[in-house]
Amino acid sequence: MGLGLFACNDNDLVEGSAPNGTQEEGTTYVGFTIDFGENKTRVAKDATVEESKINTAYVILADGNTISQVVSKPDKSGKYVLQTTPGSHDFYVVVNPKTAPTTANTVDEYFNKGVAIGADEFADTTTPSFLMVSGKNTFDIADGITKDQAIAGTDYKTNSFTIEVERVAAKVTMTCANPILTSE
pLDDT digits (tens, 9 = 90+) for 70-115: 999 888 888 999 999 999 999 988 887 878 899 998 999 888 877 6
pTM of the model: 0.67
- pLDDT band for 30, please (50, 70, 90 cuts): very high
Q: What is the DSSP string of 119-160?
A: HHHHT--SS-----EEEEEEEEEPSS--HHHHHH--SGGGTE
Residue 149 has pLDDT above 50, yes or no: yes
Q: Region 171-176: what's the mean pLDDT?
A: 61
| CA 74/CA 79 separation, integer angstroms | 5
Among residues of the chain, what percentage have pLDDT more than 90? Answer: 30
Residue 8 has pLDDT above 90, yes or no: no
